[in-house]
Amino acid sequence: MANPPRPKKPGPRSWARRCAVQAIYEWQLSGREPGLITTQFLADHDLLQADPDYFRELAHEVPARAVAIDAALAPFLDRPPDQVDPVERAILRLSGYELMEHPDLTSRIVINEAVELAKVFGAEQGHRFINGVLDQLARVARPLEFTARS
């Protein structure tokens, strides 16, 4: 009898994303300065499994670019960004940032990571919403990736 497959342990960047979504969520709800949230998060949470530099980048840059990220996401949302569930909005903003600012990551990786975050933190069917929105954004933000696949 074969052993059941072991769940894949998230890598350092996946853990950084997981922690950053929590920090972005806190920023959205509290309005506190991202630097303070990041400092507190680093002091209070065990980030040994995470890439701390990537966590810092996401936790700082997503809030700094939230207006531009929201504008890029808006055409693919069925409601204004500020009316999207805060957890889903944090995931969409983080992933939107990665799609726009990290061409080193394929859109497939960004979307898959976002779907996994939505399964962990989001509403029951939130991952479907996240997948649909990010797929549309990726096609606009990275048309060459989709042309190459065709």
Report pLDDT digits (tens) over 12-47. 999 999 999 999 999 999 999 999 999 888 887 777
Report pLDDT digits (tens) over 44-87. 777 778 899 999 999 999 999 999 999 999 999 999 999 999 99
Question: What is the average pLDDT across 127-145?
Answer: 95
pTM above 0.85, yes or no: yes
Q: Is 135 exposed, middle or buried (0-12, 13-18, 19+ CB in 10 A)?
A: middle
Other Cβ atoms less than 10 A from the Cβ of 39: the count is 13
pLDDT band at 149 (very low <50, low <70, confident <90, very high): low
Helices (H), ranges, the chain: 12-30, 34-44, 52-64, 66-73, 86-101, 107-121, 126-141, 143-149
Helices (H), ranges, 45-85: 52-64, 66-73
Closest CA to 20 of 54, 69, 48: 54
Q: Looking at domain 12-149, which of 1.10.1060.10, 1.10.940.10, 3.40.50.2300, 3.60.10.10 is its CATH number?
A: 1.10.940.10
